[in-house]
Amino acid sequence: MPRLPVLLLVSLLFVWGAAPLCAEVDEATLMQLEQRLQAMDRALEEAALGGSASLGGLWREGMRYREQAQGCVQGGQQALAESEADLQVLGEPSGHESLQVLAKRTELKARKGEISARLDRCRLIVLRSSELAERAAALRDSSLTRHLSERRSPIWVVLGDGLWMLPRDTVNLPQYLLDEGGLGELGQHQRATLLFLALFGLLFGWLLRPLVAPHHGLPDDPASGPWLSYGLRLCLARRLPALLLLGLPGLYLAFGNGPTLTLPMVAEVAVALAGALATGCLLRALLGPCGELRINPYLDERVALRLRRLTLPLLWLLMGGYLLFYSGLAGALAPASEQLVRAIYTPLLLLNLLLLFVQLGALLPLMATARLRVVFALLLVGILFTEWLGYLNLAQFLFVAFSGSLLVLGATLFLSNQLDETLDGLDEGRLKWHQRLRSILAIAPGKGFHGRLMIRLVVTILLWGGAVLLISRFWGLSGRGSELLFSYLFDGFALGSLTVVPTKLLLAVVVMLLISAATRSFKRQLERRWLRYTNLDRGAREATVTLSGYLGNGIAVLVALTVAGVEFSHLAIIAGALSVGIGFGLQNVVNNFVSGLILLFERPVRTGDWIVVGGTEGYVRQISIRSTIIQTFDRADVIVPNSELISGQVTNWMLRDQFGRAKVPIGVAYGSDTQKVKQILLKVAMSHPGVVIDGSMSPPWVLFRGFGDSALDFELRCYISNVDNRLTIISDLNFAIDDAFRAEGIEIPFPQRDVHVRSMPGGF
């Protein structure tokens, strides 16, 4: 049985069943929580006075304490209920209680008091942690507001100060690298190690190029071959010496354990350059060309070239901005020089983004509308003017949020498009890995993937739901907003008297899909392997496979309803509604359903049988729970309700065995030797291999049916071993009889009619 659906199903059920249990919290844990809340209170007071505490971390810490305290409350309530139940078992106190009952009552009351006191402390911790989390969220919001509203010098002031300071900072940059970068602090051993790693990376990368480079050309049809891996290996082989030359020394400087290795800036620069080179290789492989690499087969050639010309400069712009403003190199520039560089850098970056967005309109129809391009351009211009007015933090926040949102939207659209192509390819079995996956999921050749729509729905909801969450985080969604959003997702919301939990609904759909996939795999193995080694006939095997499929799908529905949180007590209402519906308009549906069960268990009709139902004659191709498909001899599929097969008259030529009887009528001319005709007919029947002559059935015989108008009427009757060949055997016998009669001179007469012409009055 294929393991993939089963493993996924077991993993999901394990995660679903591994809900956190509520238990009592001991005294030490309560004291620790109280102490942590006191420390959190002091940290919030320091943050309110301008401290450097992480307000987001404090909010998450308070929420974690609240969850622990809520677990304590739930466990305490459960323990208190158990204690009260034990006291109720003892009953009301009386003056005739034994010492043992009195001691037990006293013990239970003391236990109840301890639990009540601990429960009160847990409830107090819940309230206290909620208050502190609210304070942290409020301080975070106010701090973010102050940070975004902070204003520095506008562009007209920066131009005056920066143009005077920037040349001096540029001249002093090499000395700054030597002093602050720490290159002069390296010992002889560290310098030798860096030099060795640089030379080793360069040499090793050069020697490794033939192994990384592809050893075969790209196929004639790139869409059917591994064009991405081919291009990535080709580009990576060309950049490998430079990657190792920068990467190995950078990693050594960043993670080395030497006593003087305090050079994060140098390591940052080296690793950033190596990362930019690696990302450039990926972009070249995606958009091409890279030497002999052809254009991406899924992109238009001109669009791919334009995207490459825009994305590669954007990559180096982003890398340069990171080094200039966020790495250790930022300290080399005075504030006026840094703001001037940003004033020059920002328009270049935003212009590149605008051109890239316009070019993406050729790929994504959503971005091709003129209104969206105008809005995009206005937003970029707004960010630019915000920075030029001196609101650098606000401009940076808007740029990060805007670019991050675009990146998330682009990635989501790309993944959604890939999902559609993958599901369509899986439905049709286009590529080899599609065919392998179809085999794992037990999808028969030529059949569609029935779970495609449900999988597309679930994955689309997850993709766009995650995109909304990420975008909201980019735009500064507060902790309270996140908590509210997650409470809607995981705790649900009320619709009247019904509570809807979106995550449970999605999990229920996923579980149902996995159980259905596991059921199909089980049916396939049951039909192809396990039942072949039993003594069951074909009909019994098919009935077993069909019933196992219905049983698996029923289990899938029940488990999905359980995961979704549906209470089975509510199913009584549904059952009542169904009974009313059955009484008024669903009699035929239920009748066919019950008839299908009778057909599967009693098996008066099986798949492959030759049957006659009313005016329909043919072979049974499929028996389902509602109807049966009969394929006529003209290869027309006739869908017959199961109730007609149970309540009506059905002729089954193959119910007990494959034997049947063939009747061949024949007429000979008057005056023919009747005994000779009989011998010829018996000889012809005995010589045919399809006629039964081994004694298991009656031997062939000839009947002299009577004297006809033009011939003596005979009929040859014989049993045949396979009724499927009945018409073919009758045809063969007719051919043989005609040949034998011709050889023996026996005439088969034409019909004869005597015509009498009477004279009509008037001379006619």
Query: Cα-flanking dihedrals φ and ψ of residue 20, to 5°?
Result: -65, 130
Domain limit, last residue, from 122, 149, 176? 149
Task: Give me the pLDDT at residue 6, please.
Answer: 47
| Domain assignment present for 381 | no
| Domain assignment present for 86 | yes
Task: Give me the pLDDT at residue 19, please.
Answer: 42
Query: Cα-flanking dihedrals φ and ψ of residue 462, to 5°?
Result: -65, -45
- At 304, the amino acid letter reads A
| Domain assignment present for 704 | yes
Secondary structure class of 429 (helix, strand, coil): coil
What's the average model confidence in pLDDT over 158-183?
Answer: 70
| Domain assignment present for 218 | no
| Domain assignment present for 352 | no
Residue 343 has pLDDT above 70, yes or no: yes
The CA distances from residue 407 to 317, 361, 412, 467, in Å, are 16, 15, 8, 10
More confident residue, 547 or 185: 547
What's the average model confidence in pLDDT over 390-418?
Answer: 80
Largest Cα separation within the chain, whole Å, is 146
Residue 124 has pLDDT above 70, yes or no: yes
Q: Count of CB atoms within 10 A of residue 320's CB?
A: 17
Written as six digits, the tokens of 322 are 């990171």
Containing 556, the helix (H) or strand (E) segment is helix 538-563
- Per-residue burial over 110-138, b if 16 or more Cβ lie within 10 Å, else e, is ebbeebeebbebbbebbebbbebbebbbb
Q: Are 15 and 36 in contact (CB under 8 A)?
A: no
Tens-digit pLDDT profile for residues 39-96: 888 888 877 776 656 666 777 777 778 878 888 888 888 888 888 888 787 777 776 7
**Residues 266, 249: Cα–Cα separation, whole Å:** 9
| Domain assignment present for 757 | no
Closest CA to 541 of 523, 554, 521, 562: 523
Domain limit, last residue, from 107, 123, 149? 149
Task: Give residues with Cβ within 8 angstroms of 720, minimum separation 6.
Answer: 659, 660, 661, 662, 690, 691, 692, 726, 729
Q: State CA 146 to chain mean position distance.
A: 44
Task: Give residues with Cβ within 8 angstroms of 649, minimum separation 6.
Answer: none
The CA distances from residue 329 to 14, 158, 276, 334, in Å, are 49, 20, 17, 11
Residue 99 has pLDDT above 80, yes or no: no
| Domain assignment present for 253 | no
Q: Are 341 and 167 in contact (CB under 8 A)?
A: no
Closest CA to 644 of 599, 581, 579: 599
What's the average model confidence in pLDDT over 619-628?
Answer: 82
Give the domain extent around 732. Answer: 660-744
Tens-digit pLDDT profile for residues 466-524: 888 888 877 876 655 666 666 666 666 666 566 677 777 777 877 887 787 778 778 77
Given 3-state DSSP classes, what are the helix, strand and coil percentages for the chain, each rounded to the nearest 5? 70, 10, 25
Mean pLDDT for all residues in the chain: 76
Residue 701: strand pairing partners: 717
Closest CA to 53 of 63, 43, 61, 62: 43
Identify the CATH number of the domain in which residue 727 sits. 3.30.70.100
Q: Are 620 and 613 in contact (CB under 8 A)?
A: no
Task: Kindly report the pTM of this predicted structure.
Answer: 0.56
Domain limit, last residue, from 132, 149, 166? 149
Task: Give me the pLDDT at residue 259, please.
Answer: 42
Q: How many structural domains comprise the chain? A: 2
**Residues 214, 230: Cα–Cα separation, whole Å:** 6
**Residues 439, 426: Cα–Cα separation, whole Å:** 10
Query: Cα-flanking dihedrals φ and ψ of residue 556, to 5°?
Result: -60, -45
Measured distance between the N- and C-terminal CA atoms of the chain, rounded to whole angstroms: 90
What's the average model confidence in pLDDT over 718-730?
Answer: 87
Query: Cα-flanking dihedrals φ and ψ of residue 94, to 5°?
Result: -140, 170
Output the CA torsion sign for 475, 143, 391, 334.
Answer: negative
More confident residue, 540 or 374: 374
**Which of 141-150, 278-287, 582-591 has the lowest average pLDDT?**
582-591
| Domain assignment present for 87 | yes
Residue 106 has pLDDT above 70, yes or no: yes
